[in-house]
Amino acid sequence: MLHKLSRVSGLHLHATDGEIGHVSDFLLDEAGWAIRYMVVDTSNWIGGKRVLVSPSVVAAVDWAARTVHVSLTRDQIKRSPTLDTADVDPAETVPTIWIM
């Protein structure tokens, strides 16, 4: 099933042992337009860290409760790579600026 990314952005992220943050953005594979990572904002839990979580760990999405359930623990998410430490080309993480 297809959904707009804007509909998923902002949903709360629930690990196997409790809530850990919310989905704030996505990194897409430029070649195939597949979601490579969800960017998870954990600022309410571990001090403002934005970490990358693979969409392959999504166990379920509860649209009514606005939550994404993943098959990772909170500790695993805390230890996930950040935008700074992940093997992601820096050009992919900088917003595009249009000069008109």
Identify the structural domains of the chain with CATH numbers, from first to last: 5-93 (2.30.30.240)
Rounded average pLDDT per 10-residue block, the chain, 100 residues: 74 94 89 89 78 94 94 93 72 54
CA distance 43 to 21: 7
Using a 10 angstrom Cβ sphere, with 0-12 exposed, 13-18 middle and 19 or more buried, the burial of residue 19 is middle
Q: What is the pLDDT of residue 70?
A: 97
CA distance 77 to 42: 9
Q: What is the pLDDT of residue 88?
A: 62
